[in-house]
Amino acid sequence: MSRTRSVPARQPSLREHNLALVLHEVARRGPASRARIAAATGLTKATVSTLVDTLVAGGLLRELGPAGTPGVGRPGTALALAAGPVGVGLEINVDYLATCTVDLTGSVRRRELVAEDFGRIGPEQVLTRAAAALRAAVDDARAGGGCLAGVVVAVPGLVEAATGLVRLAPNLGWRDVPLLAEISARTGLDGVPVRLDNEANLAGLGELWCAGHARADGSPLESFVLVSGEIGVGAAIVLDGELFTGMRGFSGEIGHLPLAPDGPPCRCGRRGCLEQYAGQEALLRRAGLRQPARTTTGRPGGPVERLRAGATAGDPRVLAAVREAGEALGVGIATAINLLDVDTVVLGGLYALLAPWLVEPVGEQLDRRVVAAAWAPTRVVVSRLGADGAVRGAATHAVRTVLEDPSGWLTRTVRA
């Protein structure tokens, strides 16, 4: 959510600003009457009424019926988000492609998965198949009468969002791949915004917007670090309801924090990275499971399920492997907490599945290594979106552009 939408504007662009202010108020707090919107935003009732009429006519708000306190004045009409436009998310990962379509209310309209070992074929073939999956999702949305707000693509690796380049995706074997240009050329989505981001970042936004996490006092959780492990290890940093991406969009590469400068070599070209101690391959090796690493989405009954089953059965070797990984993970997370001063960590991906055995060793390391632990303990919670986090976050990110700029969306649809 844009922090500039918290107070009424007093400049020439006030109509555009205040349209977003009203739409955000309904999106954030649920159905409301015009009077409640006016009280919450500081706008006059007349102004709110005019703005609401515009948003209803544009298909972004809908009227539900009378709303009010029984016996207190004349009830107003409750307003809620309309299904409105849709966003499409596309996730490209090592052994699967996923697409997801959501509407303005956050409801999932469509979810499709293609499982294949994409780490074994070149980017040209992967992008051709990804474009076909995206095209099918877009065609389905349009056939259902949905107006397409945009597309967001999620990829595991170093992503340069501004240029549309995947600079490095070690587990896919990609370097300097012009993903957005290639996807756009293969799909022909003229006039539709198509953006790119790191899959962990988008999973973090999914947890922020769709998971309903709360702080200890019951208020929405708006500052946290999501640590997501599948084949590699990534993180999303969410501060005050905003994703922190760094100057070039490369933040969150927690899997490549150096735990031991002379440790085992990593696919990134360096040595001793956290991924080599807490990643899936390290877990499988220490547990004695001679299987190639696979994601929980692409292979739901694969190696991660064997790890979980072994831990459930009390296999001492598996339990030891998970504990060692948890301790290493705790060291890496403690470094992030000491830098960022957030009080919550969300475990995603395979770490969510292994959480019953990971939370304790992670928590022990946080208590030991976070400087402020005695006064500000860190909570460790589990992802509520699981394997859908990145693709759902991508789709939601695409449609939430309408919340940020409803005036721009309404202008665009009139011109179309």
State whether the Cα torsion 184-406-100-358 is positive or negative: positive
Token representation of residue 406: 């409803």
State whether the Cα torsion 256-261-264-270 is positive or negative: positive
Provide the pLDDT for residue 67.
60
Provide the pLDDT for residue 48.
94
Q: Are 78 and 36 in contact (CB under 8 A)?
A: no
Token representation of residue 367: 């208590």
- 86-114 per-position pLDDT tens digit: 999 999 999 999 999 999 999 999 999 99
Single-letter amino acid, residue 120 = R
Is residue 227 predicted with pLDDT exceeding 90?
A: yes
Count other C-beta atoms under 10 Å from residue 129's C-beta.
16
- 149-161 per-position pLDDT tens digit: 999 999 998 999 8
Mean of the per-residue pLDDT values for the chain? 91
Neighbour-count burial of 30, counting CB atoms closer than 10 A to its CB (0-12 exposed, 13-18 middle, 19+ buried): exposed
- Pairwise pLDDT comparison (247 vs 74), residue with the higher score: 247
- 327-382 per-position pLDDT tens digit: 999 999 999 999 999 999 999 999 999 999 999 999 999 999 999 999 999 999 99
Confidence of residue 4 (pLDDT cuts 50, 70, 90): very low
Measured between alpha carbons, how far is residue 217 from residues 224, 337, 347, 383 in Å? 15, 20, 21, 19
Provide the pLDDT for residue 69.
45
Token representation of residue 39: 């009280």
Q: Highest mean pLDDT: which of 142-146, 205-209, 289-293?
A: 205-209
Provide the pLDDT for residue 73.
43
- 31-42 per-position pLDDT tens digit: 999 999 999 999
- 41-60 per-position pLDDT tens digit: 999 999 999 999 999 999 99
Encode 45-95 in three state secondary structure: HHHHHHHHHHHHHCCCEEEEEEECCCCCCCCEEEEEECCCCEEEEEEECCC
CA distance 326 to 333: 10
Confidence of residue 71 (pLDDT cuts 50, 70, 90): very low
Provide the pLDDT for residue 214.
92
DSSP single-letter state for residue 220: B
Confidence of residue 68 (pLDDT cuts 50, 70, 90): low
Q: Are 381 and 216 in contact (CB under 8 A)?
A: no
Provide the pLDDT for residue 55.
95
Neighbour-count burial of 332, counting CB atoms closer than 10 A to its CB (0-12 exposed, 13-18 middle, 19+ buried): buried
Provide the pLDDT for residue 301.
85
Provide the pLDDT for residue 8.
61
3-class SS of residue 9: coil
Single-letter amino acid, residue 50 = T
Per-residue pLDDT, averaged over 379-408, amounts to 94
What is the total residue count of the chain? 416
